[in-house]
Structure 1
Amino acid sequence: MIVCYVQGGGLGHLTRIRAYLHTRHPGETATILTTSPFTADPRVLGPHRLLPAATLPSLRPSTLVVDAFPAGLDGELSAASIPSGTRTVHLARLLRWDAYRRVLPADPITFDQTWLLEDLSPAHRAHLAGPSAPLTLTDPPCPAPPGVAGDAWLIVHSGPWAETGELIGYARDCAAAEGVRPRLVLVCPERPAGLPTDVAHLDAYPAWPLFRTAGRVITAAGFNAVRQMRPWPGRHLMLPFPRRFDDQFARAAAARRLTTGPAVA
């Protein structure tokens, strides 16, 4: 049994674990341990089973996959918390390591395999003892989403609303700087109260199939958005936000160094 420990309040953790399972375990069904509210949408977990994160001690997984945080969100995972005989796998992405290291337990997990999903800071990388290798994720196929006109600018964010509002303002500023007046479309699970009347709403999950034809895609600098927009860097407008542990600013800076597209801001 594959069990995935996926803690974090956003939608990105669940999108990443779906991509990992499709990439490394295609056709297999896993058990997802999470407290994310986004699992209420059946599109998010797909064929995988949901259990509360607190059920880990009662399970006997053959493989435990720990997403993003090597000791869990608050340091609740340690070597002692892993069921005997379980193979451990870690999906490592950028963290604000100086902040995260404060929650590490005295007996951290030594993973049997760490997949490096992006470049880490030297201190973070040094902490992850055991075998490691880079991994490029592939998202699972999905039904074709509703069409979006090629001149539309997509604002993709699952919340909170205050950040969505900032992204809408950022999109308007970028459009003004380019001297254009595009149709703005917010892509998120639910239409937020207070959405301006000139911004359309589209409930499309996953959102990445829309990116190919959009005029611009405006997002925060989360892991999935940056990964999924890599083929079209000149159309990606990123506005990083502060997070407790995720380092969106370092990720955005790294992405901008790799592109020469004039539209990236």
Structure 2
Amino acid sequence: MAVRAAAGAAGRLRGRAGGPALIVCYAHGGGLGHLTRIRAYLHTRGLTGEPVTILTGSPFAGDPRVLSGQRIRSAPAGLGRDDLTRWVRATLAELRLRELVVDAFPAGLSGELSAAAVPPGTRVVHLARLLRWDAYRPLLPPEPLEFAQTWLVEPVGGAHRAYLDAVSSAVAPLALADPPEPRPAVPVEPGGWLIVHSGPAAELTQLVAYAQDIAAIEGARPYLTLVSPSRPDALPPEVAHRDVYPAWPLFAEADRIITAAGCNAVRQLATWRERHRMLPFPRRFDDQYARAARARAATP
């Protein structure tokens, strides 16, 4: 009920002149995960018809399969924290937004977001996921953002949750749903296994080796397909490569799906937990190890 009410409130947001309000989503990071989550959030909240601008540094933002119908703004490359703060402040003032959605990092990836960066009267929303809080906490500014709503796209606890409670008017879970997709044109081979990851190449290679190890342990000889935006040079010739986005519509037909332990992969594969195998990777702030342990504990 809370989610439905919030979606209705967002739909009623309008500019002072009666025009549609501008929603800005801040997803400043280099990976594909931020954009996938924003995409799911806009669909879940019923905001796909609203005017949306996405601020991101991800190279995947230019892929029309990932973002369609939203304006993209990227900061100049190589900005330090102070310069990025100034760019964010100037950009938000120029856009005349009514709602700011901050993904994953409550103060931005480098601590560039603070209350001073946001124009007065802006409703600020946060999408929270697991963080290595002890590593991230030193980036928090003296004047933090105050969130009208924090949505927990996965449970967080301890000091991280205490901080969100302190800076948010409301904190509640939000089950994200991805936009519906047509049946993929690329079929999964009968009995086939999928290895799904957006990179980098070294991690793709490790996931392929992990899948081969699992197959050997299980005494299986599956047809392996790597689903990734790029094909690593070291990909074994017996492993197929497909560039498919989104990958989740393929999951129902695969016998095994091997991924890292990113937030979106674990969320999208909750329905097929018994088929999912994950290899967590170290991240500066994302806690893939805790997420993988939690998912494994929930697997029957």
TM-score range, shorter chain: over 0.9
CA distance in 2, matches of 1:51, 1:10: 16
CA distance in 1, matches of 2:97, 2:247: 31
The offset of 1:58, in angstroms, is: 2.4
CA distance in 2, matches of 1:59, 1:235: 44
CA distance in 1, matches of 2:93, 2:104: 20
Asked whether 1:137 is paired with 2:176, we answer yes
* Superposition RMSD in Å: 1.1
The offset of 1:12, in angstroms, is: 0.5
Whether the 8 Å CA contact 1:22–1:139 is kept in 2: the answer is yes
Q: Which residue matches 2:105?
A: 69
Matches within 5 A, 1:78-157: 78-128=114-164, 129=166, 130=168, 131-145=170-184, 146-157=186-197
CA distance in 1, matches of 2:291, 2:140: 23
Mind listing any 5+ residue stretches in structure 2 that lack a counterpart?
A: 1-21, 76-86
Q: Which residue matches 1:263?
A: none
The offset of 1:192, in angstroms, is: 2.4
Matches within 5 A, 1:198-217: 198-217=238-257
The offset of 1:29, in angstroms, is: 3.6
1:40 maps to amino acid = G
The offset of 1:41, in angstroms, is: 1.1
- TM-score with structure 2 length normalisation? 0.85
Whether the 8 Å CA contact 1:78–1:108 is kept in 2: the answer is yes
The offset of 1:256, in angstroms, is: 0.8
Mind listing any 5+ residue stretches in structure 1 that lack a counterpart?
A: 261-265
**Matched residues, number:** 260
- Given candidates 9, 34, 37, the residue that maps to 2:59 is 37
Aligned-pair identity (%)? 66
2:144 maps to amino acid = P
2:290 maps to amino acid = A
Alpha-carbon displacement from aligned partner over 1:23-80 (angstroms, at most 9, x marks no partner) = 0124324110001011121111122111124433422111000000000000000011
- Given candidates 197, 204, 211, the residue that maps to 1:171 is 211
2:65 maps to amino acid = R
Q: Secondary structure at the match of 1:119?
A: coil
More helix by share: 2
1:143 maps to amino acid = P
CA distance in 2, matches of 1:192, 1:83: 44
Whether the 8 Å CA contact 1:97–1:121 is kept in 2: the answer is no
